[in-house]
Amino acid sequence: MKLTPRLALLLTLPPLMWAGNAVVGRVMVGNISPLALNALRWGLAALLLLPWAWRVMLQPQVLLQRWRYLALCGLLGMGCYNALQYQALHSSSPLNVTLIAASLPVWMLGMGALVFGVRPRRQQLWGAALSLCGVALVICRGQLHALAQVQFVSGDLLMLLAIISWALYSWLLARPSASMRGAARPNWDWAEALMAQLLFGLVFAGGMAGLEQVAWQPQPIQWGPGLAMALLYVALGPSLLAYRCWGLGVTSAGPAIAAFFANLSPVFAALMSAALLGEWPHWYHGAAFALIVAGIWLSSRT
């Protein structure tokens, strides 16, 4: 696999969008509940996608024939991952959340080996080690002794569950079921394929948001310009743009190599947090970026 500039850009945009998603999710704590934010996010994304994907709505038979695969993708990619991430941000920080998300290469390699029988190459293991060293630099702010003082909370466990679900979702994109391959593959473009997943994902996201309001922890939504802008951002950037780029990148580079780009999220999150506080980036941000890029380069070598 040759890592072209176009492919590198496709796989860099999602972690940039996800870093912003973590910051926005943290800012919205108190204005909207996690599951309601997830449901509204995907509902708005579906409306924005409708002009390009309306044809899927007229093909119920095609959807029902592939409902197992589409429902699993919708559950993992739209129902679980984002809901767990927003819930994690209630007790964890954006940096912690993106740092845990940076363990994605490890889970991606493990998922590929255990579920899909794809053994990791030695270069990928060394690349994972280099990338995680870069993540560790961001955690300790360039002071290695500070690693022993890092504290994790309950939200971190939720984010760990979220990243495991994302690893499986990514492998499903690269290794779809027989009903989505070859002659059996429906004649969908990217928008229609995403909408097909989204229709099932909305059922899970909306159902969980409804249960949250009725039976678990009801929380009124504090409507305002800030929430409207946040919803528009998470629907356009981390949803449509990031999922489109991630899908293209995963199918071109493979899930294992694409996962290394997720390690850029904590670097982007640290820079965004610093910008909001008026602080300039430090040397360890650049060093972490270099280590992560080195891990990506090493893992992508044939």
Token duo for residue 180: 């989505």
Tens digits of pLDDT across the chain (302 residues): 567 888 888 888 998 898 888 888 878 878 888 888 889 999 999 999 999 999 999 999 999 999 999 999 999 988 888 888 888 877 777 766 777 777 777 788 888 888 888 887 777 777 777 767 776 766 666 676 666 666 666 777 888 888 889 889 988 988 888 888 888 889 898 899 999 999 999 999 998 888 877 776 777 888 899 899 999 999 999 889 988 898 888 888 887 777 778 777 777 877 776 666 455 556 766 777 677 677 766 766 65
Cα distance between residue 81 and residue 241, in whole Å:
16
User: Alpha-carbon dihedral of residues 26, 31, 34, 35, nearest 10 degrees?
Assistant: -160
Predicted confidence at residue 62, as pLDDT, reads 92
Q: Coil, strand or helix: which one is 185?
A: coil
Predicted confidence at residue 148, as pLDDT, reads 65
Centroid of chain to Cα 223: 26
How far, CA to CA in Å, does 302 sit from each of 112, 170, 298, 299? 18, 21, 9, 8
Predicted confidence at residue 277, as pLDDT, reads 47
Predicted confidence at residue 29, as pLDDT, reads 78
How far, CA to CA in Å, does 32 sit from each of 26, 103, 239? 11, 28, 18
Asked if 280 and 274 count as a contact pair (C-beta separation under 8 A), the reply is yes
Predicted confidence at residue 273, as pLDDT, reads 67
| Cβ-based neighbour number of residue 238 at 10 Å | 24
